[in-house]
Every structure is written in structure tokens, then in C-alpha cells.
Amino acid sequence: MTINTCKSTLLFLILFTLVSCNSIPTDYSKLEKTPAIYPDYTAITIPSNIAPLNFCIEEPGTKYCITFSSSKSKGFTILQKSNKVIIPQSKWERLLAENIGNKILIDIYVYNNQWFKYQTIENTIAPEKIESHLCYRLINSVNILWREMGIYQRNLENYDEKPIFLNRSTDLGCVNCHHFNKANPKEMTLHFRKYKVGTIITTKDSIIRLDTKTQYTMSPFAYPAWHPDGKHVAYVVNRVRQIFTSTKSYHDVVFDEASDIVIYDIEKNTVTTSPLLSSKNRENMPAFSPDGKYLFYISAAPKTSDSSEIYSKYDLLMAPYDANTNTIGQVDTILKSKEIDKSISYPRISPDGRYLLLTMCRYSYFPIFDKYADLYIFDLKSKKLSPLECNSPYTDSYHTWSQTGRWIVFSSKRMDDAFTRPFIAYFDASGHAHKAFVIPQKNPAFYKTYLKNYNLPEFINGEVNISDIQLRDLVQTNPKKVKFDEKIDIDGLSGASYIKK
Amino acid sequence: MIKKVPYYGRWIFFILLSAYIVHFIFFNINPIFIHSAQQTSFYINSSYFDNFLNYPGAIAEYCGSFIGSIYGIPFWGSLVAFAMIILSMIMFYLILSKIYKEKLSFLWMAIPAFLMLSLMQDYYFPPSVFVKAFFLLVFVYFSASFNFNQYVKLFLILILSLSIYYTLGSTILVIYLISILCLDVVNSKQHLKTTLKGLFYIVLLFIIPYLGQKYFFNIADERTWKDLVPVLPPIIKYTETYILNAFIFSLPVMIIFIALIKYAENKFHSEKQSQFVQFINNYSIKPLLGFIVIVFIFLHFLPKQMDLSQKQKVLTAYFVSQEKWEEAINTAIESSDNYDYFININFNRAIYNNGQFANRILDYPQLLGISSFYPDANTTGQITIISSDLYYELGYIGEALHWAYEGLSILPWNQHLLKRLVMCNLIEGNTQAASTYLSVLKDAAWSDGFYDKYIAYLSDTSLLSKDKEIAEKRQFMPNNSLIPNSITHKLKILLAKNNKNQRALEYLAICYLLDHKIGDFMLLYPELKKIYPEKMPQIYELGVILYCYNTDRNLLNQFTFSKETQTYFVNYSKIMKKHKNNKSLAQIELKENYQNTYLYYLSFLSPLVTKMEIKKREVKN
């Protein structure tokens, strides 16, 4: 064989491969079923700025041909032997950008001695974009003996994940309660427990580390809620406990012996409370309305017995709040647990102020261990409470809104009933949630072997610009001591006792 | 006398040393116990590898995990350990040869061999340190062999330093730079150039780790220059000793030492040597003396490096994990003079699984009473695996699952715990979660067939009910109840769920007896009698006798006791009477004959008598 013959053969092979790479099978049998793909990215509504939804085709075959198209554009085709579909980023971005408000069509052909074509997958591209980033904590499935954990931010437009804080360099202390003001990455609060105890608050122009335990509050701060003015943050002070059960569907019950709500004034460095927020009841999970005029929170009756302490149910309450005077008005009960026979947690108000998104579980306020915890939507206008359409038979919890009010993100154990994964769902103008999808990963089989939980996913409008190394160094510094408001004469030790001065 | 050691003499020494190392590794150390102690797992996938990219020295730890996982394979683990030592010896020798250009004696190779064998005798010594040390030797050797002009050489050393810092960590970088500085000082005759190079090395030594920690890697301050040993949880933590320092500094120290010898030889070399010096030089006195010293050190000091109490603890746990009950029991009993809480727990498990529970419970001193059935009373990372094992055997699946999860947080990727999670989830019927853990195990290096066996259960769920172990645990596992904070309550819950749970029954009976609660024990007597219709274990019979003595002696007629028990009780009482019931006076005589008996336990060993408590262990996980 001459060199020229070799070259020609090689050229032919290359051309043949190139041609066959883009050719869609023409001779195939049609199957009247949707192909099994993992993760389930079928019949979903997606934002136009989401990273490619890579997936595995879980149908037996030796070759796979996948076409992405729409009624408006021709799209692109992938032909491969692997069942792992890695979608080219630029082609995906173009397809989505060209089809906002329309459907994209995914046709899957599988070669198993002959070509089979499955039913077309139709996904809708919503008109509204999603925030570019998502913040969450990654932690093992653990109840007491945590070790490594970290707060991370994930770019939803690609697959970049960066740590915001890792506890590895700070004696493995617990870190959580991350929360942002209106998804602003510059306004963040973060809480540390056990080692280097304290709270970090970042504002547009400062970063402070606080020692939040005062003489008149029962614990350091937890469970934050930013006031939209960016100058106040409501926190919970509590004495938390947990018990274990052999109930498969609720093996760990976290509950409070006592809890109060306090409000921290960032500028004055003072913490205040009110007899209404620091009563003998167990107030918890604060959330301000988007206009800042109301404080929503949950409350349970005080402990009267061990059983009442553990199996208590929480009501949903609302109180007017005046940020100028930092005072609370008359409390109103919005939802009574007795009437709905469920315990309420995590009230989160939609940015337009119309809807309240809640998690409801069987008892207590920490629903992540309750298999039957679900998301509920409460229409503040019509006063109608209904379960969210995107719930699953497994734990659905820890939700937040996007700033457009069209997307929600929440933690769900629906993939394997073991690990929480962040799911995104479209929430349409008529108040209905669409089918949820898990945030995509570069490796579509990622969730099959990933042994960490995504805690409290929260949208952010851009990247948090403080590095994990900066925060590591900040945590080593001496914290600023928070002062208890001198004007207040009741304490935050649960029970609103009068302070003798 | 041999006038000169023949050339092949050094090879004979090398072979003898190698043979000794092989013997020592295979028969004294046995890396399989290292694997058992450290629970090393290795996975062939990117998510496992990704954990080893974020801090200096992590790549070496990745390689260390690989070697640690091979330790778990009989023969191959020992072979790899042997290869690591031999290769390090050779590299060490080659580096020293750079100074002593004449044929350097092979005897020097014994130094790394001795230190490495000493270190390996601590079963918690991380293999990654050997990986780091080996590559340190390789890099030093190549740096010493650079034959470029000064600037190129300095540039290459800068690049190498950065690579060493990232792959092997800052401590190895420091040793590397000190070692090449020593080599330069020893070999160079241009003092100014050497001084400048030295300054350059010292700057690198301080700047690279400082900048790395300050701006690039999220590591704690204290690990800026000191990161030789990985950060590990207390359950598998290696405690650094002077031998580790001797090992890691042996290279620069020996470079200087060999240089001094060479200098001394050159300085004092003259034709007018005394007859004695001539004799020493002409005949093989030096190598022979060296050989004798090495033999003495290896035979005398090396075996003494082993911490026997640690070895027995590791061995007992290993034999239990391999279901070699008799070996576990014997190892535990051998170590009974030196009480260990974890050996106690494993001994109790072994005797039950060996079918000798009540008969042998006191063969190991139960100095902590019922605590040896309740490790999770003191919640720390160290008790997670053993608690999960204990509750799994009892059929308390919720607790086994709980402690397996906690354990996996302490030891991510631990295969034993992942398998436990698969089993518990299969028992609870959560096949989806089991599938996640199986998917992880699929990528584990050195598969043992677990994955293949249980993956079939997911596609054919009828296999679940056909599996004896799963079926039994399903019958035993309690559900819908709070998990109490007391082992006796936990055992009662197990019995309330299924009174055929013989292990729970016997554990509860022994717990009552160890806790001096004879009345509560008597409530279990009818059930125990069903298990032992013919002859009751002596400890149970003594429980009955004591109950009757303390309540109504006429009750004794309602029970039958073996002759041995009656004789024992009478003899024990006689000795007590002889000493007028003075326990202190009677103890010596009683200990001689009845140390492992229940009455002796009640009088002298019980924690209710001795007030012995579990030491508060390290809180950090």
C-alpha cells in the first residue's frame, strides 16, 4: 500500500465519521413511550440561562442519536456510543436564546440491533431568566458528628462551583444559616457554631464578624431573615435539641426547648426584641414581607411535657413592623396548625408579596427529616392554601424564591429518598408550580454517587466576591460584641421577663 | 580473616537485609492490619479524585490511599510495602553516593529501612508519608544530577519546588530545599555562588508555603509549614513520634554526616598511619563492625517499636470484621491484663457470635460493666463504626443506620460503612438509597463481590425476602418508637418488637447482671430457660442463687443448679468466711482461683464497686 493510498483511506474514514456524526437515522421503529433519562428532564419549564441539562439515556443500546431542535430552529444532533449526553454549551445557549417562550424538542434514537425512536421530549423555555447563582451548604448525611462541610456557590449558567466558606481550616466548626438580602451577593449573613462561634454579616461596604450572644438572649443568632432595607436582620435565639426515632419516615426530630425572635440593627450594632416575639411561646423562622412592613414567623405553644415539646405543631403568624422605630405591632395568626393538622415552617413571601411559600411537616419545625414534608402555597389575597404541584412523595423543603417570582428552588430527596438535591420549578403567573428539575451537572450521573446533601439552596444575583480564604482569615479575628438594646426592658430568654436595671 | 570484603559482599548484605525486611513485613507487621486499622478505601472515579486537588500534599495522600487500599490484599499489600522500602533505600543510597563518590557502603541503606519498619509498626501510620518521602528522594536525586548552567538549574529548582509544594506539601518542600542546599554546600567549591543559591533556597522555603496558605489554599495557619501527616479524625489519627522526625530529617542529616566523614578521611589521611588504623583499613573491620551493629539494632530495637496494646486492639477488631471469632477471643484474652474498652466491646460480640456468650463473658474483665454494650453513650467519632456494628447485629436497624451515617461523615468513602448503609436500606426497603450507595461501591478498587451480589437485588426485589439475613433483621427491627438513651431500654424495645431476638435477650440479661440488677434479671429467667433447658451458663445460675439468697432462700428449691456452680459457690463463700467476709483480705486468694467469675466481678471488678468510668475522649471528630 502506497503512502497516497493510506492518506486517501484515512481521509475517507475521517469524512465518513464526520458525516455519520451528524446524520439522523432515517430507518427506525417508532416507540410510543418517553425515553427513560436520568435526571428526569422531561416536560419541564426551564430558564433560558440555565446550563446544558446533560443526561444519561437509561435505555439499552449500543449507539445513541439525540437531536435538539425547535419549531423555530434546526438545532443540533449528537451521535455517540455512550449513553451519557454531554450537550455542547455554545449550541445549547444558542438554541435556548432563539426559543425563549417556545418549546425545545429532544428526539432520542437508540440503536439496539436496529434504530428505535422514542417519543419527543418537549421542554418549555420560560420568558423569565433565573438568577445566575445558587448558594447552598454541602454536608454529609449527619445528625450529630459532622466533620467537613462548606458553603458553596454554583453558577447556574455553567457548572462552576466555588466555596464561599470551608470549615476545614477553622477546627471543623459548624457553618450554616446563610442568607442573602433580595438575592444580593453583597448582603449576606452566615453563622458559625461550636468553634469560632459567631455571625458574619457582609453589606455593600463592610464585612463584620459578630459575637451575637448577649446577657439577655438565650443563644447566639440563628435562622436569619434580612429586612429589605438592608439595615436590619431578624434572627432566632433558641435552645435546640434533637431526638432519634426508629420511624423510617422521620428518624430525627429537631425541636426547640425554647425560642424567641430578635432583630439586629446593623448600623447601631444592637439587638432588640418585643414581648410579642419573645413570649413563652416558641417563635421561629422569621421572614419579612418584600415591602418590609410585615414580619411573618411561626410559633408553637411552650413546652408543658416532653411529648408537647417534641410533637408540637407550629402556627403561622404575622406582625406589622416599623423599620424606622424598630418596633413590632399587633400579632395576627394567619394559619393555625390545629385547623390544617400540620406544622408550618419556612414562610417565604414571593417578591410581589402575593404568595407565601411554606413547608409543612407532621410536627416540629425542622422538616428535612420528615419524609412527608411538602411545599404549600398560601395565596395572601384569596387566603387559599394548597399543596404545590411539584411536590414528591419524599421530603420537599428549604425553598426560596427568585427575585422575578417566577422560579423557586428547594431541597428534595425525591431522587433516592436519602440525599437532598436542589430542584428548580417554574412558578407561573396563575400561581401554579410546574414540574421541578434538579440543577444540571457536567457529569449527568453525578447525583448517583454524590454522598453530600444540598442544604438551604438560595438564589443569588451574581457571585459572592469574598473568597473562602478571606472568610477563613476573618473568622480568626476577634468578633464585635453585639449590644442588647438599652431601651428594651424585656429579655430574649423566652418568656419576655422584665429586665431589672 | 578476610582481608577485604569481596565486591559481592555488599550484595549479600543487600539480600540479607531485604530478606529480613520481607520477613518483618509479612510476619511482624502484616499490612492487612494497617488496612483494617485505617479503614482505607480507594475509588477509581473522578469524584473521589476531586477530593485530592484542593490543598498542598493532597496528591500524595491520594497515592497513599491507593497504597493503603492495597494493604488490604493479602500478600500484595506486603509486597507493596516491601517495594516502597527497597526503592526508598536505593534512592537514599544513590543520593549519598553523590557525596561519597568512592563506592559507598550498602550498610547506609539500613537507615531508611530501620526507620520505615519502625514507623510501619504503628498501625495508624499513614502510607502517604512514605509516598511523600519516596518522591522527596527522587526529586533530591534528580536535582543533584542537574548538569545545567546555574540559572537554568535555579529555574528548574523553582519549578520543582512549586510542584513539590502542590503535590507533596510544604514539609517535604522544606526538607527538599534543605537537602539540596546541603548537597550544594558539600559538593561546591565556589563559596559565593553556594551562598547565593542557599539564600535563594531559603527564600523559596519561606515564600512558597506562606503565599500558598495566604492566597491560594484554604488551609489552617498551623499547617502552613507542617503538613506531613494528613488531617485525620481521632478514630484513625496517627500520633507523631520522634521516629517520624528522625525519618524525615534523616536525608539532610545523613548528607552532612557523610560529608563530615569524607572530610575527616581526607584531612587525616596520611601515609604515616598507625598500625591500628592500617589494620582497620586493610582488613574488613569497618564493614564487619557496621554489619554487627546493624544486626544488633534490627534484632534488638526494631521489634520493641511495636505498641502491643495497639496491636491487640487492631487485631481483635480485624478478626471480628473477618468473623474469625476464636482468634478475636484469644487475642482479647491475651491482652486482658491491659484493659481496653474497644477490645471489650469486640470480645463481647465475638463470644456471642461464637455461641459462647454467657459462658465466657467474664473471660475478659468487664471493667466498665454495661458500658461495653453501649458505646454510643459517649458520642464521639470513635464509636460510630462499632456502634453501627453492634446495633446491626442486634437488629436495631434504625440505630445501625444512624451510626453508619455519622461514621460516614467522619470517614467519607469508608467501604464498611457504605456496605452497612446498603444493607440497612435494603432491610428497610429503601432500594433507591441502597442503589446510591451501591453506585459508589461499584467504583471501589479491589471489589470483593458485594456490589455484584446486591445490585441483583435491585432489579429482582424478590431476592430481598429470600435473603436470610435481611429477612431476620426485618423481623427484629423496631419501628415507630423513640430511641431511648439507655441500652437496657433499647434492648427491651428490641424484645418488645420480637421476643425471639435471642441476642437482645441475652445482652439484656448480662446487662442486668453486670449492673447488679438481679431482680430485673430474674424477670428474664423463664425466657432464658427456654434457650438453656438443660444446663444454664454459670453466670445465670449464680444470678438465680444470689436472687434467692437476697430474697427468700426457700426459693432455691424451685431451681436446679449444676454441681460445678454449687461447688464454686460453696468454695467462694468458704474463702470469704475464712477471711471473715473481709473482701480486701480475701481478694488475693479469690483472684487466684476465681478471677473470671461472676461473684469476683461483683465484689472487685464491677464499675459500681471500682467507680471506673470511661475517660472523656476527644470531642472533635
pLDDT of residue A494: 74
Same domain, A355 and A436: yes
Q: How far is CA A59 from CA A64, A116, B72, B158, B548, in A?
A: 10, 10, 37, 52, 71
Q: Which of B93, B137, B106 shows the shortest CA–CA distance to B294?
A: B106
B396 contacts in chain A (CB < 8 Å): 246
pLDDT of residue B2: 47
DSSP strand E in A338-426: where?
A: 343-349, 355-361, 374-379, 384-387, 396-401, 407-412, 421-426
The label of the residue with cell 425560642 reads: A259
Element housing B205 (H / E): helix B191-211
- List the grid coordinates of B283: 582488613
Measure B393 CA to nearest chain A CA, in Å.
16
Same domain, A294 and A366: yes
pLDDT, tens only, B89-133: 999 999 999 887 767 888 889 999 999 999 999 999 999 999 999
Q: Touching check for A306 and chain B: CB below 8 Å? A: no
Query: Sorting pLDDT into bands at 50, 70 and 90, what band is A16?
Result: very low
User: What percent of chain B clears pLDDT 90, i.e. is strictly above it?
Assistant: 76
Separation between Cα atoms, residue B602 and residue B11, nearest integer Å: 63
Separation between Cα atoms, residue A115 and residue A27, nearest integer Å: 7
A3 part of a folded domain: no
Pairwise CB contact (< 8 Å): B398 & A416: no
Provide long-range contacts, Cβ within 8 A and 24+ apart, for B440-444: B440/A449, B440/A451, B440/B43, B440/B413, B441/B415, B443/A449, B443/B43, B443/B44, B443/B45, B443/B48, B444/B41, B444/B42, B444/B43, B444/B415
A278 part of a folded domain: yes
Query: Sorting pLDDT into bands at 50, 70 and 90, what band is A499?
Result: low
Q: Touching check for A446 and chain B: CB below 8 Å? A: yes
pLDDT, tens only, B450-505: 999 999 999 998 999 999 999 999 999 998 778 898 999 999 999 999 999 999 99
Q: Is pLDDT of B178 > 60? A: yes
Out of A243, A416, A476, the one facing B436 most closely (by C-beta) is: A416
A6 part of a folded domain: no
pLDDT of residue B106: 87
Sheet holding A198-202, edge to edge: A174-181, A184-193, A198-202, A207-211, A480-481
The label of the residue with cell 412523595 reads: A393
Q: Which of A495, A493, A447, A367 shows the shortest CA–CA distance to A138?
A: A447
Pairing between strand A384-387 and A115-117? Answer: unpaired
- List the grid coordinates of B494: 428490641
User: CA-CA-CA-CA torsion for B2, B4, B10, B12, nearest 10 degrees?
Assistant: -20
pLDDT, tens only, A85-104: 999 999 999 999 999 999 99
Closest Cα in chain B to A247: B480
Neighbours of A478 (CB within 10 A): 8
- For chain A, what is the mean pLDDT? 91
pLDDT of residue B232: 92
Is A69 in contact with A107 (CB distance < 8 Å)?
yes
Out of B46, B218, B440, the one facing A469 most closely (by C-beta) is: B218
Query: Sorting pLDDT into bands at 50, 70 and 90, what band is B4?
Result: low
Which of A36-40, A269-273, B170-174 comes out lowest in average pLDDT? A269-273
Q: Using CA of residue B11, residue B17, residue B21, residue B27, what is the dihedral sign?
A: positive
A145 part of a folded domain: yes
- List the grid coordinates of A451: 454522598
Same domain, A389 and A247: yes
A10 part of a folded domain: no
pLDDT of residue B462: 92
Separation between Cα atoms, residue B412 and residue B51, nearest integer Å: 10
DSSP A301: P
pLDDT of residue B479: 85
We report the CATH number of the domain holding residue A75 as 2.60.40
pLDDT of residue B150: 83
Q: Using CA of residue A483, residue A487, residue A493, residue A494, what is the dihedral sign?
A: negative
Out of B218, B430, B443, the one facing A472 most closely (by C-beta) is: B218
Closest Cα in chain B to A162: B54
Pairwise CB contact (< 8 Å): B397 & A246: yes
Q: Which of A181, A210, A193 shows the shortest CA–CA distance to A139?
A: A193
pLDDT of residue B333: 96
Phi and psi, residue B339, nearest 5°: -55, 135
pLDDT of residue B105: 84
Separation between Cα atoms, residue A361 and residue A375, nearest integer Å: 9
Neighbours of A179 (CB within 10 A): 20
Q: How far is CA B163 from CA A128, B166, B209, B217, in A?
A: 47, 5, 12, 14
Separation between Cα atoms, residue B541 and residue B529, nearest integer Å: 10
- For chain B, what is the mean pLDDT? 91
B249 vs A18, more confident: B249
Q: Which residue intervals of B411-559 are DSSP H helices? A: 415-428, 431-442, 450-459, 462-466, 468-476, 487-497, 502-514, 518-531, 538-550
Residue B507 identity (one-letter amino acid): Y
Residue A481 identity (one-letter amino acid): K
User: CA-CA-CA-CA torsion for B238, B241, B244, B246, nearest 10 degrees?
Assistant: 180
A357 part of a folded domain: yes
Same domain, A102 and A157: no
Query: How large is the average pLDDT for residues B42-57?
Result: 93
Pairing between strand A343-349 and A355-361? Answer: antiparallel
Phi and psi, residue B398, nearest 5°: -60, -45
**How large is the C-alpha radius of gyration of chain A?**
26
- List the grid coordinates of B382: 470513635
Q: Which of B153, B152, B135 shows the shortest CA–CA distance to B144?
A: B153
Q: Touching check for B126 and chain A: CB below 8 Å? A: no
Angle among Cα B356, B361, B367 to the nearest 5 degrees reads 160
pLDDT of residue A17: 44
pLDDT of residue B1: 44
Out of A171, A246, A417, the one facing B479 most closely (by C-beta) is: A246
pLDDT of residue A473: 93
The label of the residue with cell 429467667 reads: B525
DSSP A159: -
ipTM for this model: 0.90
Please confirm whether the linkage preceding B375 is cis (ω < 30° from 0): no
B41 contacts in chain A (CB < 8 Å): none
Same domain, A203 and A319: yes
We report the CATH number of the domain holding residue A255 as 2.120.10.30
Separation between Cα atoms, residue B407 and residue B418, nearest integer Å: 10
Query: Sorting pLDDT into bands at 50, 70 and 90, what band is A1?
Result: very low
Same domain, A117 and A171: no
Q: Which residues of A314-330 are buried (b: 16+ CB within 10 A; e: fewer)?
A: bbbbbbebebeebebee
Q: Which of A386, A362, A377 shows the shortest CA–CA distance to A408?
A: A377
Mention every residue, 6+ apart, whose C-beta is less than 8 A from residue B186: B99, B255, B256, B259
A108 part of a folded domain: yes
Same domain, A140 and A219: yes
Half-sphere exposure of B431 (CA within 13 A, CB side): 12
Same domain, A188 and A72: no
**Cross-strand bridge partners of residue B133:** none
Query: How large is the average pLDDT for residues B216-244?
Result: 93
- List the grid coordinates of B30: 502484616
Same domain, A386 and A352: yes
Mention every residue, 6+ apart, whose C-beta is less than 8 A from residue A303: A257, A258, A282, A309, A312
Which residues of chain B form CATH 1.25.40? 369-504
Separation between Cα atoms, residue B314 and residue A228, nearest integer Å: 58
- List the grid coordinates of B318: 480485624
Closest Cα in chain B to A146: B409
Report the number of distinct structural domains present in chain A: 2
Q: How much of chain A is helix, strand and coil, in % rounded to 5?
A: 10, 45, 45
**CATH fold label, B369-504:** 1.25.40
Neighbours of B364 (CB within 10 A): 24
Of the residues B54, B218, B378, B620, the best mutation for testing chain A's interface (the one with the most A CB atoms within 10 Å of its CB) is B218
A501 part of a folded domain: no
Closest Cα in chain B to A168: B219
Closest Cα in chain B to A249: B480
pLDDT of residue A20: 43
Separation between Cα atoms, residue A188 and residue B177, nearest integer Å: 43
Q: Is pLDDT of B618 > 70? A: no
Same domain, A73 and A166: no
Half-sphere exposure of B548 (CA within 13 A, CB side): 16
Same domain, A116 and A138: no
Give residue A99's domain range: 29-125
Pairwise CB contact (< 8 Å): A417 & B443: no
Measure B219 CA to nearest chain A CA, in Å.
5
Separation between Cα atoms, residue A496 and residue B151, nearest integer Å: 74
Query: How large is the average pLDDT for residues B340-349?
Result: 96
Q: Is pLDDT of A304 > 50? A: yes
pLDDT, tens only, A196-252: 889 999 998 899 999 999 988 989 999 999 999 999 999 999 999 888 888 888 888
Sheet holding A37-38, edge to edge: A37-38, A55-57, A84-85
Q: Touching check for B459 and chain A: CB below 8 Å? A: no
Out of A143, A145, A476, the one facing B621 most closely (by C-beta) is: A145
Q: Is pLDDT of B273 > 80? A: no
Phi and psi, residue B422, nearest 5°: -60, -50
pLDDT, tens only, A326-376: 999 999 999 999 999 999 999 999 999 999 999 999 999 999 999 999 999
B432 contacts in chain A (CB < 8 Å): 415-418
The label of the residue with cell 516502597 reads: B84
Same domain, A44 and A162: no
pLDDT, tens only, B397-451: 999 999 999 999 999 999 999 999 999 999 999 999 999 999 999 999 987 899 9
pLDDT, tens only, B66-76: 999 999 999 99
Is A86 in contact with A473 (CB distance < 8 Å)?
no
Q: Which residues of B430-451 are buried (b: 16+ CB within 10 A; e: fewer)?
A: bbbbbbbbbbbbbbbbeeeebb
User: What percent of chain B clears pLDDT 70, i.e. is strictly above it?
Assistant: 95
Q: Touching check for B486 and chain A: CB below 8 Å? A: no
